[in-house]
Amino acid sequence: MSTHSNVIPDGEPMVRLRDLSVTFSGGRKPVHAVSGVSLDVRRGEVVALIGESGSGKSVTMRTLLRLHPERRTRIGGQVQVAGRDVLAMPQRELFDFRGKVASMIFQEPLLALDPVYSVGAQIVESIRRHETVSESEARQRALALFERVRIPSPERRLAAYPHEMSGGMRQRAMIALALACKPQLLLADEPTTALDATVQIQILLLLRELQRDLGLSVIFVTHDIGAAVEVADRIAVMYAGRIVEEGTARELIRSPRHPYTIALLKSRAHGALARGARLETIGGAPPDLSALPPGCAFAERCALANDMCRAAQPAAVELAPNHRARCIRTDAAAAIAPVLVA
């Protein structure tokens, strides 16, 4: 098989992370942003990554496109996307890979779009960088993309500069740009956080529709558990650089078994929790990533933690097919899980 083939070998997931670790060495002490993350995303599957600020969600996403500053970043483990070894890819191939196999949409499109070119020009440029097509053909495709993401007056809007668009329009334009070279994997890093509530829902619905129509695999980072349940097939919960619980969206919401997931669910203000459930905030702060404890990183904040939790890193426990948690207190955790209404 050619290394440039976009065909995934039989049985291979779209994304396969094995024991991924990412350490930044620029500052005074090394920062262990991601530790021992293993995750598969199947073709056509939507996986949501959730967790508090600083838990390593964006670092994990950026690793999939190898976007970190190479000199100050140490990456361990395996990163495979569409059957390709991302960490071993030569620069030339990486260039082709970004946009054509996997592409990313960000929270703030103003930072990702080039302010001095019209959005249309950026899409045309991206298409022509990856494919041998004429200018007019690329323009036609850009127009079709704008229609696809339902930007009104698409012809006129293609000539607009990013700052001339509203936040919602800009995010649609960013999605069009990300889809320009027909990627198979879309990485969406909090794509709706910067938008107001009604626009958030519209963008979420658009993403879900595009994912289904185009058969995309998606990793979707969000702080909003409600949004994760709405769009994702599976949810992975990150804490201090590790995936602490992972399962189908339904299983994870109905039977959360890691005390951190439970705390996150209980901190939700509305939605599928029992009536009268109090809004709880998670006490304490996440650990210093340059001085991680030997045991479970959540132990410090966990009401169920014992000496064993603090002594060693808990292994992943298989709770059901497709449901795992890194916790030795999952039985006790079951008793404090929130009860769903439906």
List residues binding ligand ATP (CB under 6 A). Answer: 24, 26, 31, 33, 51, 53-59, 289
Distances (CA, A) of 60 to 18, 76, 206, 213: 12, 12, 24, 26
- Helix or strand (DSSP H, E) at 48: strand 46-50
Least CB distance from residue 121 to ligand ATP, whole Å? 30
Distance CA 49, CA 240 (A): 13
307-329 burial string, b = 16+ CB within 10 Å, else e? eebeeeebebbebeeebbbbbbb
What is residue 328's three-state secondary structure? coil
Comparison of 58 and 211: residue with beta carbon closer to ligand ATP: 58
Q: How many helices (H) and strands (E) does the chain have?
A: 13, 12
Least CB distance from residue 231 to Mg ion, whole Å? 17
Q: Does position 211 bind Mg ion by CB under 5 A?
A: no
Comparison of 83 and 286: residue with beta carbon closer to ligand ATP: 286
Q: Which of the 8 DSSP states describes residue 64? A: H
Least CB distance from residue 54 to ligand ATP, whole Å? 4
Comparison of 32 and 329: residue with beta carbon closer to ligand ATP: 32
Least CB distance from residue 100 to ligand ATP, whole Å? 25
Residues in contact with Mg ion, total (CB under 5 A)?
Answer: 1
Q: Does position 192 bind Mg ion by CB under 5 A?
A: no
Binding mask 58-87 for Mg ion (x = CB under 5 A): x-----------------------------
Half-sphere exposure for 41 (CA within 13 Å, toward CB): 31
Least CB distance from residue 53 to Mg ion, whole Å? 7
Instruction: Provide the binding-site residues for Mg ion, judged by CB under 5 A.
Output: 58
